[in-house]
Chain A
Amino acid sequence: EVQLVESGGGLIQPGRSLRLSCAASGFTFDDFAMHWVRQAPGKGLEWVSAINYNSGSVDYADSVKGRFTISRDNAKNSLFLQMNSLRVDDTALYFCAKDNFADYRLGGADFWGQGIPVTVS
Chain B
Amino acid sequence: SYELTQSPSVSVSPGQTASIACSGPYLGDKYISWYQHRAGQSPVLLIYQRDKRPSGVPERFSGALSGNTATLTISGTQPLDDGDYYCQAWDTNSYVFGSGTRLTVL
Task: Determine whether A1 belongs to the interface, using a CB cutoff of 8 Å to chain B.
Answer: no
Tell which of B33, B86, B93, B94 touches A44, judged by Cβ atoms closer than 8 Å. B86
For B43, list chain A residues within 8 Å (CB). 37, 45, 95, 97, 109, 112
Contact among B37, B47, B90 with A105 in the assembled complex (CB-CB below 8 Å): B90
In the complex where A62-B1, A108-B33 touch, is A45 in contact with B45 (Cβ < 8 A)? no
Cβ contacts under 8 Å, B33 to chain A: 107-109
Known: A44-B84, A108-B88. A50 touches B45 (CB 8 A): no
CB of A55 closer than 8 Å to a CB of B = no
CA distance A47 to B15 in the complex (A): 33
Number of A residues contacting the other chain (C-beta, 8 Å)? Answer: 25
Known: A60-B94, A61-B94. A112 touches B42 (CB 8 A): yes
Binding site for B on A (CB under 8 A): 35, 37, 44-47, 50, 59-62, 95, 97, 100, 104-110, 112-115
CA A47 to CA B49, docked complex, whole Å: 17
Query: What would be 9 A-B contacts, judged by CB atoms less than 8 Å apart?
Result: A35-B95, A45-B35, A45-B43, A46-B97, A47-B97, A95-B42, A100-B45, A112-B42, A112-B44
A35 neighbours in B (Cβ, 8 Å): 95
Q: Mark B81-100, 1 if CB is under 8 A from A, else 0.
A: 00010101010011111111
Which residues in chain B, 50-76, are within 8 Å of chain A measured between CB atoms? 54
Contact between chains at B45 and A108 (CB < 8 Å): yes
Asked if A114 and B97 make an inter-chain contact with CB atoms under 8 angstroms apart, the answer reads no
| CA of A60 to CA of B93, assembled, Å | 7
Chain B 1-39 interface mask (CB, 8 Å, partner A; 1/0): 100000000000000000000000000000101010100
Knowing A114-B42, A115-B42 touch, does A44 contact B100 (C-beta < 8 A)? Answer: yes
Instruction: From the candidates B1, B31, B94, name the one contacting A47 in the complex (CB within 8 A).
Output: B94
Given contacts A45-B35, A47-B95, A107 and B1 within 8 Å (CB-CB): no
